[in-house]
Amino acid sequence: MQPRVALVLGGTGAVGGAVLAELARRGVATSFTYWRSAERARGLAAEHGQHAFRIDLADAAATTAGLDTVAAERGVPDILIHCAGVSAAPALADLGVEQWREAVAVNAHSALLACQWLARRAPPGAPVDVVVVGGLDRTQSLPLPVDFAATQGMLSAMVMALGHELGPRGFRVNMMALGMLDAGLSRSLAARRRKDYESFSALRRLGTPAEAARAIVWLALENSYVQGKVLAVNGGI
Ligand SMILES: NC(=O)c1ccc[n+]([C@@H]2O[C@H](COP(=O)([O-])OP(=O)(O)OC[C@H]3O[C@@H](n4cnc5c(N)ncnc54)[C@H](OP(=O)(O)O)[C@@H]3O)[C@@H](O)[C@H]2O)c1
C-alpha cells in the first residue's frame, strides 16, 4: 500500500496544530495551510518536519491556485482535513455582510472547493479520506453565533451529499463535530457561555485540542465504512 499523504487546511489553529502533531506521531507525510499565523506555521513545520503553504481560504480563486501549488510541490494528498474556521459576531445585531461572507467562505466554501479540487486531481480508484471539522451535529440545540451555526449546517449537509456523489469513486467524506474545547475559537465566547457548556457536558469539562485531534486522525486513517456522517466528540452534550 502507498504511504498516505495528508493536507490539513487551517494547520495553525488550536485544533489544526494538534492534528499536525498527531499526524506526525503517526508518521504521515503532511502539508498544511495557514493565513495570518506565519510564525506559528514556521514553528509547526520545523517541529514536525511538515510543509506550510500560505493560502487565503476566504478567496475562492486563491484557494484553488494554492491547492495546485501544494500538489505541484508535495503531490496530491489522499487525506484532506479541513479545520480552518472563523466565528466573527457573537450576536445577530453585530453581524455585517462582510463577516457573514467570510464565515461562509472560510468555514464552508473552502471545504467544498477543496473536495471539488481533490475529486478532479485524485487518481481514479485511489481511496481518499476527507474529514471536515466543525462544531454542531444537530442532535443538540446550542446557543451558537448564527454565522458559525449556519456554516456548520452547510458542512453537515455537504458531507452527506458528497458521501453519495464521491463514495463510488473511493472517497470517504465525513464531518467531526467537536464540543467546546479549552482553546481556539471557543475563546471568543463569553466566560458564562463556556461555563454553561462545562456544566451541560456529561464529563463536566471542556475538551482539549489533543483529544479532538486523536478522534479526527482516527477518522482520517482508520475509518473504512463511516460515510457522509457527522460524528460528535463533545464530552456528552
Ligand atoms: N475550539 C473549539 O472550542 C471548537 C469547538 C467546536 C468546533 N471547533 C471547530 O474546529 C475548527 C478549528 O477551530 P480552532 O478552535 O482550531 O480555531 P482557531 O484556533 O481560531 O484556528 C482557526 C484556523 O483557521 C485559519 N483561518 C482563519 N481564517 C482563514 C483564512 N481566511 N484563510 C486561511 N485560513 C484561515 C487560521 O489560520 P491563521 O491563524 O494562520 O490565520 C487557523 O489555522 C473549526 O472549524 C471549528 O468549527 C472548535
Judged by average pLDDT, the poorest of 115-119, 121-125, 192-196 is 192-196
**Count: domains in the chain:** 1
Report the range of poorest mean pLDDT among 19-28, 102-111, 132-141.
Answer: 132-141
d(CA 223, CA 220): 6
Let me know if residue 150 belongs to a domain: no
Residue 151 lies in a domain: no
Q: What is the model's pLDDT at position 143?
A: 86
42 lines ligand 1 (CB under 6 A): no
- Rounded to two decimals, the pTM is 0.98
Q: Please, what is the average pLDDT of the chain?
A: 95
| Cα(186) to centroid(ligand 1), Å | 10
Q: What is the pLDDT of residue 17?
A: 98
User: How far apart, in Å, are the Cα atoms of 28 and each of 76, 117, 136, 164, 221?
Assistant: 14, 21, 28, 27, 10
Amino acid at 138: R
Per residue, the 3-state secondary structure of the chain, as one string, reads: CCCCEEEEECCCCHHHHHHHHHHHHCCCEEEEEECCCHHHHHHHHHHHCCEEEECCCCCHHHHHHHHHHHHHHHCCCCEEEECCCCCCCCCHHHCCHHHHHHHHHHHHHHHHHHHHHHHHHCCCCCCEEEEEEECCCCCCCCCCCHHHHHHHHHHHHHHHHHHHHHHHHCEEEEEEEECCECCHHHHHCCHHHHHHHHHHCCCCCCECHHHHHHHHHHHHHCCCCCCCCEEEECCCC
Nearest CA owner, ligand 1 atom 47: 134
Instruction: Look at residue 37 and tell me if it is in a domain.
Output: yes
* β-pair partners for 149: none
Ligand 1: distance of its center to the CA of 103 in Å?
Answer: 11
pLDDT band for position 187 (50/70/90)? Answer: confident
Residues 6 or more apart in contact with residue 145 via CB below 8 angstroms? 87, 88, 89, 90, 91, 95
The per-residue pLDDT for range 147-159, each reduced to its tens digit, is 999 999 999 999 9
Q: Is the CB of 176 under 6 A from ligand 1?
A: no
31, 178, 216: residue to mutate for ligand 1 pocket, most atoms within 8 A of CB: 178
**Residue 220 counted as domain residue:** yes
**Among candidate residues 214, 140, 223, 232, the one with its CA nearest the CA of residue 177:** 232
Amino acid at 94: D
Q: Is residue 57 part of a domain?
A: yes
- In ligand 1, which atom is closest to the CA atom of 133? 45
Q: What is the CATH number of the domain that holds 74?
A: 3.40.50.720
Q: How many Å lie between the centroid of ligand 1 and the Cα of residue 21? A: 16
The pLDDT tens digits of the residues spanning 17-39 come to 999 999 999 999 999 999 999 99
Question: Pick from 162, 20, 4: which is nearest to 77 by CA?
Answer: 4
Q: Which of 7, 8, 15 to mutate to test the pocket of ligand 1 (most atoms within 8 A of CB)?
A: 15
pLDDT at 90 over 90: no
For residue 163, being part of any structural domain is answered with yes
Q: Look up residue 90 and give its three cell numbers.
A: 457573537
With the most atoms of ligand 1 within 8 angstroms of its CB, the residue from 50, 81, 83 to mutate is: 83
Q: Which domain, by its residues, includes 182?
A: 5-145+157-233
In a domain, 100, yes or no: yes
CA 160 to chain centre: 16
Average the pLDDT over 54-73 and give the result.
98
Q: Which residue has the higher pLDDT, 202 or 193?
A: 202
Residue 152 lies in a domain: no
Question: What pLDDT does 56 receive?
Answer: 98
Residue 35, ligand 1, Cβ within 6 A = yes
Cα dihedral across residues 52, 53, 58, 63: positive or negative: negative
- 234 in ligand 1 pocket by Cβ < 6 Å? no
